[in-house]
Amino acid sequence: MRLASDRSAVRRRLRVVIVGAGFGGLTVAKNLAKTPVDVTLIDRKNHHLFQPLLYQVATAGLSPADIAWPIRRLVRRQKTRASCWARSAMSIRRESRSS
């Protein structure tokens, strides 16, 4: 049984939107793993590509699966509620931001 105060605490969780799942976006998501926030990660692709080893794939030294990982798999181990969207961010409306 949940109390009314528990429900209001759940509603007040902060939401963090990270645009881009490159090294920076994944680092921010990882650092937020133990905080009480909801994380939404938006990227045009549904995978993270480790580009420094791309030449190894081109020369058949590595398999493409060795340098590309699904973003959902990278963030699913986090304790926060993390969701991933394969979308492009067209604009950010700061005036509609809820506090």
pTM for the model stands at 0.64
Q: What is the pLDDT of residues 36-60, one digit of tens each?
A: 888 888 888 887 888 888 899 999 9
Matching residue, tokens 């881009």: 20
Please, are residues 41 and 71 in contact by the beta-carbon 8 Å criterion? yes
- Cα–Cα distance, 31 to 44 (Å, whole number): 22
Domains of the chain from N-terminus onward:
12-86 (3.50.50.60)
Matching residue, tokens 């994944």: 26
Element (H, E) at 25: helix 23-31
Rg (CA), the chain: 17
What is the pLDDT of the chain when averaged over all its residues?
78
